[in-house]
């Protein structure tokens, strides 16, 4: 008599629910819920930041031969409905021009009381949408006074840098490389380093990657594509710092939260960081929340510094570089401390489970 056979590939008996429980673990189900939350946060953040740009607090210097004319014009423009401008007076046109070049103000209006035409100094290298918004606001205000405006772009975007966005895209690319490199290091050998020596190895590998990524990104954006004409060495240094800062904070998140730390890094850098970076819409055009957090996050700090290096001779790049350095130091410190504590507790070599056997006794870097 032929004996019944069983299909080795068949799942456990008990119907669909048992099959589902066997196919999808509780941990996997929770991770999928986390991905859904991250996706919805992504949609909310990007649409929230970009769906209705409204100028607010664009810094504008006003200069005129007579102080009372400059003061009166500044007060009139500063009182426009919606507060689109944050005005201040400059002693003269030369000073106003210097302020724009130093990134102390977003633009400057040079008033000519003897004529009917004033000069508006803008800097499209800081973002075309910002300079266009300023031109529109001042143009309407001047027309209401029966005056004309001559537009002078004192820091124009390069011919290959459409709308001044290349700096932003370069920094986004560096950020992506930073957290992907850190994620690969975690996936290949466990989210949490087994000890402090392994943590140093990971950070060292990340540093070497950052140096290479910073250089290659700069060469592509500058000499090869001609999009960014800034100092190559300065942009290389910035790129190295951006990649390492993002990678280090990703390693830190992973050392604390395991594989879920990759999602936390994406939340910080992509979901919150990219729309608030001032790329497509510089800070004066963003809603208050994104305007407030942008300068403190790596994409925003990197974008601002890259534009400063490219179009403003590095002026005002220092604070943004300090922000990136702070993220790099914080990520390195957390990664090292967690590695020491993890080793001291005698925990498993890999950080996202309780695996035993050779994989747990002989972890990779």
Domain boundaries, the chain: 58-153, 163-361
**pLDDT tens-digit map of 246-279:** 999 999 999 998 888 999 999 999 999 999 999 9
| Strand-pair category, 148-153 with 107-110 | unpaired
* CA triple 220-226-228, angle to 5 deg: 80
CATH entry 3.40.50 includes domain 58-153: yes
d(CA 33, CA 128): 39
Contacts of 4 (CB under 8 A, 6+ apart): none
- Cβ atoms of 269 and 292 within 8 Å: the answer is no
**333 closest CA partner among 199, 241, 206, 238:** 199
Q: What is the pTM of this model?
A: 0.86
The three-state secondary structure class of 195 is: coil
Which CB contacts under 8 angstroms, 24+ apart, belong to 311-316? 311/123, 311/125, 311/126, 311/155, 311/157, 311/164, 311/230, 312/101, 312/102, 312/103, 312/123, 312/125, 312/126, 312/155, 313/101, 314/231, 314/234, 315/101, 315/102, 315/103, 316/102, 316/103, 316/104
Per-residue pLDDT of the chain (365 residues; tens, 9 = 90+): 455 554 544 445 567 777 666 677 777 778 788 889 989 998 999 899 888 889 999 999 999 999 999 999 999 999 999 999 999 999 999 999 999 999 999 999 999 999 999 999 999 999 999 999 999 999 999 999 999 999 999 999 999 998 899 999 999 999 999 999 999 987 766 556 667 888 899 999 999 999 999 999 999 999 999 999 989 999 999 999 999 999 999 999 999 988 889 999 999 999 999 999 999 999 999 999 999 999 999 999 999 999 999 999 999 999 999 999 999 999 999 999 988 886 655 544 433 433 433 333 334 44
Phi and psi at residue 107, in whole multiples of 5°? -165, 175
**Residue 241: exposed, middle, or buried by beta-carbon count in 10 A (0-12, 13-18, 19+)?**
buried
């Amino acid at each position: 008599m032929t004996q019944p056979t069983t299909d080795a590939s068949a799942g456990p008996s008990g119907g669909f629910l048992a099959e589902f429980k066997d196919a999808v673990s509780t941990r996997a189900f929770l991770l999928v819920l986390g991905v859904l939350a991250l996706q919805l946060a992504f949609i909310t953040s990007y649409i929230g930041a970009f769906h209705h740009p409204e100028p607010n607090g664009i810094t504008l210097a006003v200069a005129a031969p007579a102080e009372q004319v400059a003061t009166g014009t500044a007060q009139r423009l500063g009182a426009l409905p919606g507060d689109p401008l944050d005005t201040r007076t400059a002693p003269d046109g030369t000073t106003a021009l210097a302020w724009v070049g130093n990134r102390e103000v977003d633009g400057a209006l040079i008033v000519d009381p003897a004529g009917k035409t004033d000069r508006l100094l803008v800097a499209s290298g800081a973002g075309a949408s910002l300079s266009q918004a300023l031109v529109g606001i001042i143009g309407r205000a001047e027309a209401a006074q029966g005056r004309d405006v001559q537009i002078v772009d004192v820091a124009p975007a390069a011919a290959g840098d459409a709308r001044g966005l290349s700096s932003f895209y370069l920094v986004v690319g560096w950020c992506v490389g930073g957290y992907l490199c850190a994620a690969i290091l975690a996936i290949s050998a466990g989210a949490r380093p087994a000890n402090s020596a392994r943590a140093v190895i990971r950070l060292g590998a990340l540093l070497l990657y950052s140096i290479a990524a910073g250089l290659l990104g700069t060469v592509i954006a500058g000499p090869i594509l001609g999009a960014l004409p800034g100092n190559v060495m300065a942009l290389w240094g910035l790129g190295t710092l951006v990649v390492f800062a993002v990678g280090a904070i990703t390693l830190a998140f992973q050392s604390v939260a395991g594989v879920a730390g990759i999602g936390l890094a994406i939340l910080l850098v992509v979901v919150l960081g990219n729309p608030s970076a001032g790329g497509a819409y510089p800070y004066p055009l963003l809603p208050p929340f994104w305007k407030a957090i942008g300068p403190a996050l790596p994409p925003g700090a990197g974008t601002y510094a890259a534009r400063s290096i490219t179009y403003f001779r590095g002026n005002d790049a220092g604070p943004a570089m300090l922000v990136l350095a702070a993220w790099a130091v914080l990520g390195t410190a957390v990664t090292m401390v967690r590695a020491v504590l993890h080793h001291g507790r005698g925990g498993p070599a890999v950080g996202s489970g309780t695996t035993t056997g050779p994989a747990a006794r002989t972890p990779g870097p």
